[in-house]
């Protein structure tokens, strides 16, 4: 966990709960680091760019949080530098809740999952929408279907690798199909070998 994430997430009420449940000592030192934003290291950057989906939370004018799933080809969420992420904003159901929420408050939280490895990365940051053509060219995924309505840039304030406990281990369809294909090939080879051995036994018995 970066120091900045702890400083943003561990409010007075949160710290009171930590003291109540005996975890405050374990987290106390995390509050003592630099107040500048956390930067993404090589491990965080690699994890981000391997994702084919993530969840983004924003807060509306009523104070209610809103959680949205974003998906695309692997790598559609780009690491632009050690503090900035970006992705092309494709047209969806046209409710524009996240877009509207960002007009009210630029604060967002991202939740990135890798179910196969049972790993998750949480990020806090400030998001804005841009239609800058140079940024769009950098973020648009070639040949991916969907109407691009802009790009979302996220300036990272803090991040945290979360505990893997209770994360179900799930595998993508492509991984499962590849594994099944390998098993089918192996079964076919064994059936052919079995047929050959049976043929040899019949020939040996007829002599």
Tens of pLDDT, residues 83-107 = 999 999 988 888 999 999 999 999 9
Q: Report the distance separating Cα 123 and Cα 93, nearest Å.
A: 25
List the domain boundaries for the chain: 1-35, 37-161, 171-207
CATH (one of 2.60.40.10, 2.30.110.10, 3.30.200.20, 3.40.1280.10) for 37-161 = 2.30.110.10
Question: Mean pLDDT over all residues of the chain?
Answer: 90
* DSSP conformation class of 92: -
Q: List the structure tokens of 132.
A: 């800058």
Measured at the CA of 145, the angle between CA 87 and CA 44, to 5 degrees, comes to 30
Lowest mean pLDDT among 20-29, 39-48, 77-86, 103-112: 20-29
Q: Report the distance separating Cα 150 and Cα 136, nearest Å.
A: 7
Q: Which of 113, 133, 45, 37 has its CA nearest to residue 85?
A: 45
Phi-psi region of 99 (alpha: psi -120 to 50; beta: other; left: phi over 0): alpha
């Amino acid at each position: 966990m970066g120091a900045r994430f702890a400083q943003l997430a561990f409010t007075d009420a949160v710290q009171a709960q930590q003291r109540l449940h005996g975890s405050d000592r374990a987290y106390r030192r995390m509050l003592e680091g630099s107040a500048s934003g956390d930067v993404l290291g090589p491990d965080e950057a690699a994890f981000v760019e391997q994702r084919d989906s993530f969840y983004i939370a924003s807060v509306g004018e009523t104070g209610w949080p809103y959680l949205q799933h974003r998906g695309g080809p692997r790598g559609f969420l780009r690491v632009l530098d050690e503090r900035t992420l970006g992705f092309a904003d494709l047209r969806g159901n046209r409710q524009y809740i996240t877009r509207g929420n960002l007009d009210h408050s630029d604060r967002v939280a991202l939740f990135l999952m890798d179910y196969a490895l049972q790993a998750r990365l949480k990020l806090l940051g400030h998001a804005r929408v841009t239609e800058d053509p140079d940024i769009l060219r950098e973020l648009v995924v070639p040949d991916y279907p969907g109407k691009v309505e802009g790009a979302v840039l996220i300036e990272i304030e803090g991040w945290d690798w979360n505990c893997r406990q209770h994360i179900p281990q799930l595998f993508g369809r492509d991984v499962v199909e590849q594994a099944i294909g390998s098993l089918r090939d192996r079964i076919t080879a064994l059936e052919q070998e079995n047929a050959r051995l049976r043929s040899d036994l019949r020939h040996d018995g007829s002599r």
